[in-house]
A and B are shown apart, each in its own frame.
Chain A
Amino acid sequence: MPEVSIRHLDKIYDGGVQAVWDFNLDIADGEFIVLVGPSGCGKSTTLRMVAGLEDITKGELIIDGKNCTRLPPKDRDIAMVFQNYALYGHMTIYENMAFSLTLRKENKNIIHRKVMAAAEILDLKSQLNKKPKQLSGGQRQRVAIGRAIVRNPKVFLFDEPLSNLDAKLRGAMRRELMLLHKKLGATMMYVTHDQTEALTLADRIVCMSMGHVQQIGKPIELYDHPANTFIATFIGLPPMNMFEGRVEDGKFVSEYFTYKLDAGQAKLLQSYDGQRVILGVRPENITRTGSVELSITNNENLGMNTLVHGKVGGTKNVVCKFAEWCNYKVGDVIKIGFDTQKMHFFEMPRTQKNADGAEVIVEYGKAIR
C-alpha cells in the first residue's frame, strides 16, 4: 500500500482561479518525491494541500490508509519544513526542536532523547544552547529539519527549503538532505523550482506547469524521454534546442536547415509526413561534425566543457555543449551535427488566442515515440 495516495486533487481559489488540475500521485513508503516546475505552476499549492494548510477543493488525500482530505494539519502526522525556517527567535535551538513535542505534552526525558538524536544526525549538538540568530542560514535550515525529525512523522514535506541559501551552501545542504533521506528512510515530498535539486534528490520527479502534471518519472526518464516540449525545455541546463519544421519524404525540413532522417527516425515519423513537428536536441548531443552551419555569437569556457552559443540560419539561437576546451571567436562559422540516437521529436503544441489576441499554449507538444 502506498504511504501517500493523492487522487484527482483540484484547487480552486475563491476568485474562481484554478491552481491545480486533477493531480494524481501514489507515493511509496520511503520514497523521495520532488515537485518541480516554474513559479505559479501549482507545486507549492499541492504541497500545502497535502499539509492541510490549503483546503482541498476536490479529490482525496490518503496518508497511510487514512483519509486525510478534511483532517486538520495536526492530525495528519506530517511535518513541514519551510523556506524561511519559521524558527522562534526567543527560544534556544533545543527549545525550537523540542517545541512540537512540548506542545504534545510528551515526557521531557523522551523529548530530550529525541532532540539529542536529531541533533546528532544533523550535527547540531554544539549549537543547541544558541539562539537562531546566532546560526548561519544552513544551520537554521538544519534546525528546521531537526524540528521535523523529532516528530517522527509519516511524511516530511519540504517547501523550497534551500532557496534562501547561497549556491555553495545549497550544494552542501543538498548532499546532506540526500544522506538524511538514506538515514531516515522516510517518505518525503519536496517542492523546488531548481531542476538540479530535483534531478539529484528525487527518486521520482513530478514536473508541473500551469497547474497540470506534465510528467512523473525517475530523473533519468524525464531527462532522456521528456513527455512533451515543456519537460524537454525545462529539464536540462542549458535547455534543449528546439527546431520547428516539417517532415517531407524522409527529411526534416526547417527554415534553418534540412536534415535527412535515418531509417529509424523515418519510420517513427512516417505518419507525420507533410505535418509540422518539432525537433529537439540537447546541447551536449550536438557534435562538431555535420552539415548545419552555426555562426558563433559567444564562447563560454567552463573548464570541464565549453558552451558555444550561435545562430543557425541567421536567426535561430542554438546552444552547444562541447566536452573540449574551445576558443571560437564571435563571427566564426562552424559545421555542427546531431547525435542521431539522442534526437527527440515532438508534435506541435496546441495554442489558443486569449482575450488580448495573443497566442497561448493550451497543450504542450507531445513526444513522438
Chain B
Amino acid sequence: MKTLSPTEQIVNTDIMRYKPNRLPAMLALLSLVFNVLYFCLLYGFKNSFFSNWKIGASVVITLITLLFTFLASEGIKGYNKKYCITLIVLAVVQIARIFILPLQALANDQAGPENLALSVRYFGLDLSSEAYCAILIIWLSLSAACLIASAVLGYINCTKLEKFNSAIESGEIDIDGALKEEEVETAANTEVK
C-alpha cells in the first residue's frame, strides 16, 4: 500500500474539513436498509404464536430505531462525535432484538408439534421456520455490524478532524504551506515519470 507523505496526509485531512463524513453516514443508512428487510420479514408471517403485545412493542422499537438511525446518520455526516454513542446504542438494541423475537420463535417452533409452525412468504418464497428465523438474525446482525462500523469510523474521522482543527488553530499546521509543498512534490513526481 502506498504510504502518504506528511504533506499529503495534511492535505487529505484538510479535504475532510470541507466534505461531509460520508462513509459512516452511508453505513448507518445501510443498517437502516437491513432493518427494513428485517421487519418486512418479521411481519410477513401468516400465522404465529407471537401475535400479542410483543408485536406492538416490536413495531414501536422498529420505528424508534429507524428514526434514530436516520438522525444519527445525519449527525455523523456533520462530524458530530456525540452521534457515535447513539449509533452504538442502536447497535446494542439490534443485537438485543436477536434474542427476543427470532430466537424465541425458533425455540417455540422447535418445542414440539403441538406448537403451530410458522408460515411465511418472503419475496415470493415460502420459508421454513428455521430459515425464517435465520434470515431475521442475519438482517439484525448485519444492521448491528453496519451501526458499529459507522460508529467506529465516525469516531476515528471526528477525532482526526478535531485534532487537525486544533493544530491549525494553534499554528502547528500551515495549510497554505502544505498545499504549496504538495504542489512542488507533485510537479517533481511528474517530472521523474
A90-127 contact mask (Cβ, 8 Å, vs B): 1 or 0: 00111100000000000111101101100000000000
Q: A109-B11, A112-B11, A113-B179 are in contact. Are A129 and B186 (CB under 8 A)?
A: no
* Contact segment of B17-25, B91-99, B166-174: B17-25
Q: Which residue of B is nearest A92, CB measured?
A: B18
- Chain A positions within 8 Å of B18 at CB level: 92-95, 115, 128-129
Complex Cα gap A129–B179 (Å) = 18
B1-38 contact mask (Cβ, 8 Å, vs A): 1 or 0: 00000001001101101111000000000000000000
Q: A109-B182, A110-B186, A113-B179 are in contact. Are A95 and B19 (CB under 8 A)?
A: yes
Q: Tell me which residues from 307 to 334 in chain A have a Cβ below 8 Å from any Cβ of chain B.
A: none
- Chain B positions within 8 Å of A112 at CB level: 11, 14-15, 179
A92 and B15 contacting across the interface, CB-CB below 8 Å = no
Q: Which residue of A is nearest B15, CB measured?
A: A112
Q: Which residue of B is nearest A117, CB measured?
A: B179
A109 and B17 contacting across the interface, CB-CB below 8 Å = no
Describe B's contact surface by its main secondary structure: helix
* B179: contacting residue among A93, A95, A108, A116, CB under 8 A: A116
Q: How large is the interface on A (under 10, 10 to 19, 20 to 34, 35 or more residues)?
A: 10 to 19
Describe A's contact surface by its main secondary structure: helix
Q: Which residue of B is nearest A130, CB measured?
A: B18
B15 and A108 contacting across the interface, CB-CB below 8 Å = yes
Q: Residue among B8, B19, B175, B179 with the most chain A CB within 10 A?
A: B19
Q: How far is the CB of B27 from chain A (nearest CB, A)?
A: 19
Asked if B183 CB lies within 8 Å of chain A CBs, one says: yes
Complex Cα gap A115–B182 (Å) = 14
Q: How far is the CB of A327 from chain B (nearest CB, A)?
A: 58
Complex Cα gap A115–B179 (Å) = 11
B19 and A92 contacting across the interface, CB-CB below 8 Å = yes
A147-178 contact mask (Cβ, 8 Å, vs B): 1 or 0: 00000000000000000000000000000000
Q: Residue among A92, A109, A116, A128 with the most chain B CB within 10 A?
A: A109
Q: How far is the CB of A145 from chain B (nearest CB, A)?
A: 18
Q: How large is the interface on B (under 10, 10 to 19, 20 to 34, 35 or more residues)?
A: 10 to 19
Complex Cα gap A112–B7 (Å) = 13
B14 and A113 contacting across the interface, CB-CB below 8 Å = no
Q: How far is the CB of A287 from chain B (nearest CB, A)?
A: 58
* B183: contacting residue among A94, A108, A113, A128, CB under 8 A: A113
- Chain B positions within 8 Å of A95 at CB level: 18-19
Q: How far is the CB of B70 from chain A (nearest CB, A)?
A: 15
Q: How far is the CB of B26 from chain A (nearest CB, A)?
A: 14
Q: Residue among A93, A110, A112 with the most chain B CB within 10 A?
A: A112
- Chain A positions within 8 Å of B182 at CB level: 109, 113
Complex Cα gap A108–B8 (Å) = 11
Complex Cα gap A362–B69 (Å) = 68
Q: How far is the CB of B176 from chain A (nearest CB, A)?
A: 8
- Chain B positions within 8 Å of A129 at CB level: 17-18
Q: How far is the CB of A190 from chain B (nearest CB, A)?
A: 29
B20 and A92 contacting across the interface, CB-CB below 8 Å = yes
- Chain B positions within 8 Å of A110 at CB level: 186
A94 and B19 contacting across the interface, CB-CB below 8 Å = yes
Q: Which residue of A is nearest B20, CB measured?
A: A92
Complex Cα gap A107–B179 (Å) = 14
Q: How far is the CB of B14 from chain A (nearest CB, A)?
A: 7
- Chain A positions within 8 Å of B8 at CB level: 109
Q: How far is the CB of A107 from chain B (nearest CB, A)?
A: 8
B186 and A109 contacting across the interface, CB-CB below 8 Å = yes
Q: Which residue of B is nearest A95, CB measured?
A: B19
Q: How far is the CB of B20 from chain A (nearest CB, A)?
A: 7
- Chain B positions within 8 Å of A115 at CB level: 18
Q: Which residue of B is nearest A127, CB measured?
A: B18
Complex Cα gap A113–B8 (Å) = 12
Complex Cα gap A129–B19 (Å) = 7
Q: Which residue of A is nearest B18, CB measured?
A: A94
Q: Tell me which residues from 150 to 193 in chain B have a Cβ below 8 Å from any Cβ of chain A.
A: 175, 179, 182-183, 186
- Chain B positions within 8 Å of A113 at CB level: 11, 179, 182-183
- Chain A positions within 8 Å of B183 at CB level: 113
Q: Which residue of A is nearest B17, CB measured?
A: A129
B residues sitting closer than 8 Å to A (CB atoms) are 8, 11-12, 14-15, 17-20, 175, 179, 182-183, 186
> 18 interchain pairs (CB within 8 A)?
A92-B19, A93-B18, A94-B18, A94-B19, A108-B12, A109-B11, A109-B12, A109-B182, A109-B186, A112-B14, A112-B179, A113-B11, A113-B179, A115-B18, A116-B179, A128-B17, A128-B18, A129-B17
Extra contacts besides A92-B19, A95-B19, A108-B12 (12): CB < 8 Å: A93-B18, A107-B186, A108-B15, A109-B12, A109-B182, A112-B11, A112-B179, A113-B179, A113-B182, A116-B175, A128-B17, A129-B18
Question: Closest 5 CB pairs between A and B?
Answer: A94-B18, A128-B18, A129-B18, A112-B15, A109-B11
